[in-house]
């Protein structure tokens, strides 16, 4: 007879555990006892305090999140199950996986050296460009800790859980089969890996180095360093917001704060802005933004600056901007930091409102899941009151559909914002 499957059980006093309301996580302090380390990175079951099954998930005794649900029933984390989960993730994004994709696609790669990129654009003509976007968004796609972005024929994967790290080579093979990708870059340099007891590293599936090159995204060429740039090389989650904000830019003076590679600034300049200035505190971001502006033949200036300090230096100047974009990095990387993050966002939005001419537009965002819609709206209300400005919402903004939100997991929703008219 086979031995019974390993099983976690919630403590008798764990009645408030979020897993009981559909959340996919169980924390170490919510279970009666941990399992032996031999089960780390493997699939185990979990039951509530009465013995009712809660599903099957991946286990890691080294992590504060000891269990992450894969499914309600029995799951074997093998090639067949992974292929099914990956296929469902692609199907959610409208990507056809019904035909054999084991041979790389015939289309010209979207990423290339500068000369190859120009030649590819001439050959492609009216052909449908290769997919650029998020393919896998962790728990929202039944694959805890796995994030995959596609840039044409190159995929960038982040593996942040022990169980999927043990199966990373298999996942790479399956992704190649499904997408026809010619290369996968494993950007396993996130600090989240430390919480799973995993080392930080970056490597490619082929073992060959991946050199920076041009990529066409949203009608613009960007010089991308997918192996060494921030996150997975480009902030794909904001690509729908770039044109959404640019429609307010024609003839306007535009300030793009925390500009990174300059996407908002480039879109505003091409939309006919009278003046565009981008600010960022990172040397490499400013260098990339200037290179991108030159490549795309748009008029935009970029300055190395701490945005808070820059606004402070301008506080006595007359309102000089008609459109201000605030897209800062996360201020609240943990729940304990939320109070200081709210103060920071309030102060930042206050300074931006004061810098806007009457009737100007403020596009403001937060990328911390700890800061919900109610918190963001509260911050904006406080800033408007202190600025003594009448502020209306033009648009509410959220992450795109290829970053799906799991309704039982608030952490899967992290990007939100508002486009405001400041009178």
Q: Measuring CA to CA, which residue among 328, 346, 421 is closest to residue 382?
A: 346
Find the angle CA(73)-CA(51)-CA(141) to the nearest 5 degrees: 30
311 is written with which tokens? 């606004």
- Are 383 and 344 in contact, with CB atoms under 8 Å apart? no
- Are 365 and 416 in contact, with CB atoms under 8 Å apart? yes
- Are 353 and 383 in contact, with CB atoms under 8 Å apart? yes
- CA 48/CA 39 separation, integer angstroms: 20
DSSP conformation class of 38: G
- CA 249/CA 273 separation, integer angstroms: 5
- CA 423/CA 420 separation, integer angstroms: 10
Angle of helix 373-387 relative to helix 338-355, nearest 10 degrees?
40
Please enumerate in sequence order all residues whose Cβ is within 8 A of that of 381, keeping only pairs 6 or more positions apart, or say none. none
Give the CB-side neighbour count of residue 364, counting CA atoms within 13 A: 28
Helical ranges in 129-206 per DSSP H: 162-165, 168-179
- Are 412 and 139 in contact, with CB atoms under 8 Å apart? yes
- CB atoms inside a 10 Å sphere around CB 290: 16
- CA 360/CA 395 separation, integer angstroms: 14
DSSP conformation class of 103: S
Catalytic residue among 46, 367, 397, 418: 367
- CB atoms inside a 10 Å sphere around CB 150: 27
| Largest pairwise CA distance in the chain | 81
Q: Tell me if residue 397 is catalytic.
A: no
- CA 235/CA 243 separation, integer angstroms: 14
Residues identified as active-site:
367
């Amino acid at each position: 007879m086979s031995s019974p499957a390993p099983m976690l059980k919630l403590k008798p006093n764990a009645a408030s555990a979020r897993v009981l309301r559909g959340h996919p996580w169980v924390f170490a302090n919510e279970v009666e006892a941990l399992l032996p380390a031999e089960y780390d990175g493997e699939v185990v079951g979990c039951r509530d305090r009465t013995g009712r099954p809660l599903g099957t998930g991946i286990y890691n005794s080294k992590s504060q999140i000891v269990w992450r649900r894969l499914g309600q029933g029995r799951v074997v984390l093998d090639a067949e199950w992974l292929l099914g989960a990956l296929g469902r993730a692609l199907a959610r994004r409208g990507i056809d996986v019904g035909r054999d994709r084991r041979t790389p696609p015939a289309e010209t790669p979207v990423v290339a050296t500068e000369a190859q990129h120009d030649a590819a654009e001439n050959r492609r003509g009216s052909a449908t460009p290769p997919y650029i976007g998020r393919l896998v968004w962790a728990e929202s796609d039944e694959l805890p800790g796995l994030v995959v972005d596609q840039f044409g024929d190159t995929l960038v994967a982040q593996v942040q859980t022990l169980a999927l790290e043990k199966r990373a080579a298999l996942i790479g093979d399956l992704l190649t089969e499904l997408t026809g990708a010619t290369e996968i870059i494993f950007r396993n340099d996130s600090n989240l890996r430390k919480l799973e007891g995993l080392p930080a590293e970056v490597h490619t599936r082929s073992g060959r180095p991946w050199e920076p090159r041009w990529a066409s995204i949203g009608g613009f060429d960007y010089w991308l360093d997918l192996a060494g740039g921030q996150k997975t090389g480009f902030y794909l989650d904001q690509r729908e917001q770039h044109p959404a904000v640019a429609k307010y830019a024609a003839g306007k003076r535009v300030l793009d704060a925390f500009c990174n590679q300059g996407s908002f600034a480039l879109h505003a300049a091409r939309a006919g802005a009278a003046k565009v200035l981008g600010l960022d505190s990172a040397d490499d971001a400013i260098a990339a933004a200037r290179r991108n502006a030159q490549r795309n033949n748009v008029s935009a200036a970029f300055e190395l600056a701490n945005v808070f300090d820059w606004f402070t230096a301008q506080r006595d100047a007359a309102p000089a901007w008609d459109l201000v974009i605030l897209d800062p990095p996360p201020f609240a990387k943990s729940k304990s930091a939320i109070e200081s993050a709210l103060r920071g966002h309030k102060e930042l939005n206050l300074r931006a409102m004061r810098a806007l001419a009457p009737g100007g537009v403020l596009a403001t965002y937060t990328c911390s899941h700890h800061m919900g819609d109610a918190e963001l709206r509260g911050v904006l209300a406080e800033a408007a009151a202190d600025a003594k400005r009448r502020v209306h919402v033009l648009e509410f903004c959220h992450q795109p559909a290829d970053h799906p939100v799991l309704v039982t997991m608030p952490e899967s929703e992290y990007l939100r914002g508002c486009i405001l008219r400041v009178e």
